[in-house]
Amino acid sequence: MTELLANYFAGRWQTGTGAGTSLYDPVLGTELVRIDSTGLDLAEGFQFAREQGGAALRALTYRERGAMLRAIVKVLQANREAYYEISTANSGTVKNDTAVDVDGGIFTLGTYAKLGETLGDRRYLLDGELAGLGKDPLFQSQHLLVPTRGVALFINAFNFPSWGLWEKAGPALLSGVPVIVKPATATAWLTQRMVQDVIDAGILPAGTLSIICGSSKGLMDQLQSFDVVSFTGSAATAAVIRSHPAVTQHSVRVNIEADSINSALLLPDRSGDNTALDLLAKEVSREMTVKSGQKCTAIRRIFVPEALYDSAAAAISARLAKTTVGNPRNEIVRMGAVVSQEQLQSVKAGLEQLKTQAEVLFDGAKQSLVDADANSCCIAPTLLGARDADTAQIIHDTEVFGPVASLLAYRDLEHAKALVRRGQGSLVTSLYGTDPAALAAVAAELADSHGRVHIISPDVASSQTGHGNVMPQSIHGGPGRAGGGEELGGIRALNFYHRRSAVQASTEVLKHL
C-alpha cells in the first residue's frame, strides 16, 4: 500500500483516519501516494493558527517576516530536484512546464521577501498622507493598514500546486497572517512535500503554516469575521463559497479566481507586414501547450481580421504540428498529460461541445503519442475555428481547460472589441500589432473587462514575459466571470490581508504612528 501523506495542522503532523484517496501518475497510471483528512479536529487547528500563529507573526516586523520568506526560498531551492520529480510523476508535466510551477512559485516568494526588506521595521503600514479635518490644522486624520487578526484559508486548484501556494502565502505571511492551505486533491503531493520541507527546517513559528490534504468539507464552517478565504477554481464552487454563512453573515473577506475565457487579438494592419501575425501564432501555440493548456490564463479565443483567418489558421497549425506529446520522461516530448482521467474526460467533453459551433483546423490526435499509450491522460492540441464569431456563442461561454483554442474572424476593430467582451470578464487579453498608438488605445478600452492587458509588439518580441505568465509585480485576477478577485501586484497583494482604519487625532499623536 502506498504512503498516506500527513497533514500539518494544530502545530503537529497528523494522518487521517480513513483509507485515503489515491493519487496517480497520469501517464503511467501507477498509484503514487494517498491523502486523507478524516478525523482532524478542524476547530482546534483553526484556533491554533489564529491564536498562536497569528500572534507570533504579528510580533515580527515586515523586515523580519521578509527574512523568514528568504529562508523558505533557500529551503525550496535546495529541494528543487525532488519537486521536479514529484511534478513529473503526479502532474505529468515536461521539465519546462514544471519550471513554470516550481521555479515560478519560488521566484514569487522571493519577490515578497525583498518587499519585506523595503517595508522595514514596522508592524503596520501608513496609507496615504495626513488629512486635515477642519479649520484647525492641529486635528487631522491618518489611515493605517494593520494585519487582520485571523487566518488565511487557501482552497487551491490542481494546475499549480507550487505557485498556487506561494503566490498567496508570500503576501499573507509577510502581512502577518497565518496560512491554512487545502490543495486540490489530484496534485496535492507537491504542495504537501514543500510544506513538509519548510516545517522540518524550523523557519516558521508554530501555527503560521498548515496544510490539509483531503476533503474541504467543514473548512468554511470554521471561518470567523476577521479570517479571509482565497479560492481558485470553478465558478460553480465559487458561488457556493460566496453563499456560505461565513461570508453572508460574518463578512469573511473573499478572493475568487474562477473560469476565464481569455483572448488574443491581432489588430488590423494594412501594410502587409506579417510580423504581428507571426508573434500571435508563436504565443498562441505556446499558450495552448504549456502545462497541456491547464492554465487559468491560457488563450482560449483568438481574434483575427477576416482576411487573415486562413493565414492565421495555417501559421498556428504549423507550430502545433511540431509539438510532440507523450511521456514527459522522454526528452523529445514537448507536452505531457493533463493531471487525471477525470480532467481528460472533461477536456474531451468540452471539445465535443465546441465542435458543435466550430470547425477543426488542426487535430493533433492524428499524431502518435511518444512512450504513452491510449490509456494515459495525454491529449494532443486541437485548434478550432469559426468564421462567424457572432453565432458561435458556445465558444464565448465555454472554457475547455486543456490544449484547446478557437480562432475567430472579425470585421473591424469595433467588432473585435465587442467579441472580446463577450468573455464577460477575463484574467488577461493579449494584443498584437505594430502601431504603438493603436495598441495603447485598444488596451485602455479593454482594461475595464480584464485584470491584465498584455501587449506584444515587435520591439518587445524577445523580452516580453508571456501572455499567460503571471508576474508578481502585476495584479492577477479579473472582473465578472473571472471571479472579481485580485492577487499579487507587488505591495497591492498585502491589502487583502490588512484592515484599513482612520486614526483621528492631534498631529502630536499622529507623528508617533
Would you name the residues annotated as active-site residues?
257, 296
- The position carrying cell 484647525 is 136
CB 264 within 8 A of CB 302: yes
- In this structure, are strands 228-232 and 382-386 parallel, antiparallel, or unpaired? unpaired
> Which helix (H) or strand (E) is 408 found in, with range?
strand 404-410
What is the C-alpha to C-alpha distance for residues 434 and 418, in angstroms, rounded to an integer?
Answer: 21
Q: Is 155 helix (H, G, I), strand (E, B) or coil?
A: strand
Would you say how long the chain is, in residues?
Answer: 513
Q: Is 37 helix (H, G, I), strand (E, B) or coil?
A: coil
- The position carrying cell 510580533 is 59
Residues 6 or more apart whose Cβ sits within 8 Å of residue 226: 148, 149, 150, 499
**Helix, strand, coil percent values for the chain (each to nearest 5):** 40, 20, 35
DSSP state of 508: H
Report residue 154 as a C-alpha cell. 487557501
The one-letter amino acid code at 336 reads: G
What is the C-alpha to C-alpha distance for residues 291 and 163, in angstroms, rounded to an integer?
Answer: 13
Q: Is 354 helix (H, G, I), strand (E, B) or coil?
A: helix
Between the two ends of the chain, the Cα-to-Cα distance in Å is 58
- In this structure, are strands 299-305 and 262-266 parallel, antiparallel, or unpaired? parallel
CB 216 within 8 A of CB 38: no
The torsion angles phi and psi of 413, rounded to 5 degrees, stand at -65, -35
3-state secondary structure 396-407: HHCCCCCCEEEE
CB atoms within 10 A of CB 483: 26
What is the C-alpha to C-alpha distance for residues 309 and 195, in angstroms, rounded to an integer?
Answer: 48
Q: How far is CA 436 from the centre of its chain?
A: 29
- In this structure, are strands 31-35 and 21-24 parallel, antiparallel, or unpaired? antiparallel
Residues 6 or more apart whose Cβ sits within 8 Å of residue 432: 264, 265, 266, 267, 276, 277, 279, 280, 283, 456, 457
CB 75 within 8 A of CB 105: no
Alpha helices in 356-500 (DSSP H): 393-397, 413-421, 436-446
| Nearest partner of 487 among 499, 472, 498, judged by Cα | 472
